[in-house]
Amino acid sequence: GAGVSQSPSNKVTEKGKDVELRCDPISGHTALYWYRQSLGQGLEFLIYFQGNSAPDKSGLPSDRFSAERTGGSVSTLTIQRTQQEDSAVYLCASSYVETQYFGPGTRLLVL
């Protein structure tokens, strides 16, 4: 069946611009997660959704980062006023029980 999909696959933006990253989870998966992978920080958790609510936002690095999920399905991660340190691969995962399945990621480069 279809896996987790993310778009765009690559995004280049200028410092100070806003960006939106999209995640389409596996159908029927109630939980959705965002992670960030960068050279300096490794793989770090950003935010967790159960249905449309976000019980754990503890990993969002600043108030420039926000995310929402609608219809218990698609999620959007928004980064406002991007900074060069936001450059990373943003990974989305979804799960029904214990195992999280990851999408291919969005590679963000902030110039």
Partner 1 sequence: AQSVAQPEDQVNVAEGNPLTVKCTYSVSGNPYLFWYVQYPNRGLQFLLKYITGDNLVKGSYGFEAEFNKSQTSFHLKKPSALVSDSALYFCAVRGYTDKLIFGTGTRLQVFP
User: Rounded to the nearest 5°, which phi and psi values hold at 97?
Assistant: -120, -120
Which stretches of 1-111 are DSSP H helices? none
| Side-chain half-sphere exposure of 97, counting CA atoms within 13 A | 0
Q: How far is the CB of 71 from partner 1 (least distance, A)?
A: 21
Q: How far is the CB of 77 from partner 1 (least distance, A)?
A: 15
Q: Give the residues lining the site for partner 1 (CB under 8 A).
A: 4, 31, 33, 35, 42-45, 48, 55-56, 59, 91, 93, 95, 98-105
How would you classify the pairing of strands 75-79 and 19-24? antiparallel
Q: Which residues of 11-35 are buried (b: 16+ CB within 10 A; e: fewer)?
A: bebeeeeebebebbbbeebeebbbb
Q: How far is the CB of 16 from partner 1 (least distance, A)?
A: 27
